[in-house]
Amino acid sequence: MTQIDVNQLTQAKANVTLTQTLLNQAIEKANSDPTLAQEAMKQASSEISSALSAVTQAQNTVKATPLE
């Protein structure tokens, strides 16, 4: 039976949650502090990359597992 790496998916979920927080911060600060908004967007982008990496690793584990 194929095992999905739940830890990888949990990590991806945490990255997405942090991304949401950072994007909300960027939206809130867009007019009052564009520099802070830009930094939040950069961090959000990094979190999206990390989430995608974690999901890809979980998918690759499933694909590499032989079917029984």
Structure-model confidence comparison of residues 1 and 37, the more confident one = 37
Q: What is the pLDDT of residues 23-37, one digit of tens each?
A: 999 999 999 999 999
pLDDT given for residue 4 in this prediction: 84
pTM summary value: 0.83
Q: Is the CB of residue 51 less than 8 Å from the CB of residue 17?
A: no
Average of per-residue pLDDT across 34-55:
96
Distance CA 33, CA 45 (A): 19
Is the Cβ–Cβ distance between 47 and 16 less than 8 Å? Answer: yes
Contact 18, 47 (CB under 8 A): yes
